Every structure is written in structure tokens, then in C-alpha cells.
Amino acid sequence: MSSTTTPVLKLVAFIDGFTELTGKAIAWLTLAMMLTTTLVVVLRYLLGTGSIAIQESVPGK
């Protein structure tokens, strides 16, 4: 096999890098969503207060 990179290997490397970056971004965004949901629960049930703006920032509610 030659030492030159074929177009297919370049495509595979690009897709691999894109997948890696996307996965890390989604992992961090999931963590942020979980922490925001926890904050909403603590504010509502433990402190007896809440914020509609914070509740609306969490998707799927």
C-alpha cells in the first residue's frame, strides 16, 4: 500500500472527526440540560420558588 492518502481515507478521516466533535458537543449540552433541570427542581420543590424562563430553557417540557 502506498504512503499517499486516498480520497476515501480523507473522507473517512473527516467523517470520524465530525462525529467525534458532534458527540462531544452533544455530551456537554446534555450535561447542561441535566443541570438546568436539576436547578428547576431545586428551586421549585426545595426553595418554593421557580422561574418560567429557566423552565422554558429546557427542551421537551
Furthest CA-CA distance within the chain: 68
Total count of residues recorded for the chain: 61
Predicted confidence (pLDDT) per residue in 11-56, tens digit: 999 999 999 999 999 999 999 999 988 988 888 888 888 777 777 7
Identity at 36, one-letter amino acid code: T
SS3 sequence of 3-22: CCCCHHHHHHHHHHHHHHHH
Long-range CB pairs of 24-30 (<8 Å, 24+ gap) are none
Tell me what pLDDT residue 2 has. 54
Tell me what pLDDT residue 43 has. 87
Tell me what pLDDT residue 40 has. 87
Tell me what pLDDT residue 50 has. 75
Using 50, 70 and 90 to split pLDDT, how confident is the model at 3?
low
